[in-house]
Amino acid sequence: MGDVIRNKSIDIQEARAVVNECIGSVSRNPDAMMLLSQLKNKDEYTSQHSLNVCLYSLMLGRRMGLTGHELETAGLCGMLHDMGKLRTPIEILNKPGKLTDEEFQAIKMHPTHGREILLSSDKAVDQEVVEAAYMHHERLRGGGYPEGLTEVNIPFHTRIVTIADVYDAITSARVYDGSRSHLEATRILTENRGKDFDEDMVIRFIAGLGLYPPGSFLEMTNGEVAIVLENHATSRLMPKLLRIMDADKALTEERIIDLADEPRDEAGQRYAVASVLPHEAYGASFKSYYQRGLFANISHL
């Protein structure tokens, strides 16, 4: 993202190049790209969030039948949707406590700032990208901002980005809020489908992620903790895992566990999923495992 954003303006050609690289990678290995979306860092939240929303928008766009330029536009909408935060004071973005009314109003200006930044770009920016930057906090029932638009006035690409944005925000740790699990995020989206979010898109988005997205943390019925490596196309409820903690939640020797093979633990108990955990549960860091190369064979791009 550093190459895309320079001096609080954008390099639209560089942004397109990044999006097209993502499109190629998503086509070759969707699970690998979902793993990359788990490299969350609250100290670099806005830039990582923008990449994640790009990836999720591409996934949903493909599920909505987008191809070619339309799919590229969906990714670009996701990548540039929060450009307006470049004009939000950093002390407000990184404030750990509750915002004052004045500070919240400053945050709510970022859609307007984003539209201004994109329209002032030296290179032409697609209308859909400008709309997504300006409208991604609008909601179908009219309860969003900046204009309180309703369903008929919220464009197709913006609806895609809105779902991707909300999902990543819920599952990411930020300076003022902890992360919540994939299941909690999908529950919120499901409860508000047809109300705040496009119903068909929510259904397709959740189907695309699967029950256990790559990079998510799971607690097994024996108390051990594992990270999802990849899903099997024919048995998505039986993912391949990397065990990282024992039943006492102490780091232990990593072990690949493929639930499709019906493996058993040292006590002879069959491995089964008990619950989906929030990101970096029990102090474990997905990023540290990724940087050690433990996902090299899975996440080849």
Instruction: Indicate the SS3 state at residue 129.
Output: helix
Lowest-confidence pick of 69-78, 162-171, 175-184, 263-272: 175-184
| pLDDT(31) > 80 | no
Measure Cα distances from 298 to 34, 56, 229, 256, 259 in Å: 11, 19, 7, 12, 16
The parent domain of residue 256 ranges over: 217-291
Q: What is the mean pLDDT of residues 123-136?
A: 94
Residue 222: pLDDT over 70: yes
Are 46 and 80 a contacting pair, CB within 8 Å? Answer: no
Give residue 301's pLDDT: 36
Domain match, 148 and 52 both: yes
Task: Indicate whether 46 pLDDT > 80.
Answer: no
Residue 252 lies in a domain: yes
Q: Tell whether 201 is covered by a domain.
A: yes
Q: Are residues 187 and 233 in the same domain?
A: no
Pairwise CA distance, residues 75 & 129, whole Å: 9
Query: Domain end: 156, 186, 209, which one?
Result: 209
Using the predicted structure, report yes or no on whether residue 215 has a pLDDT greater than 70. yes
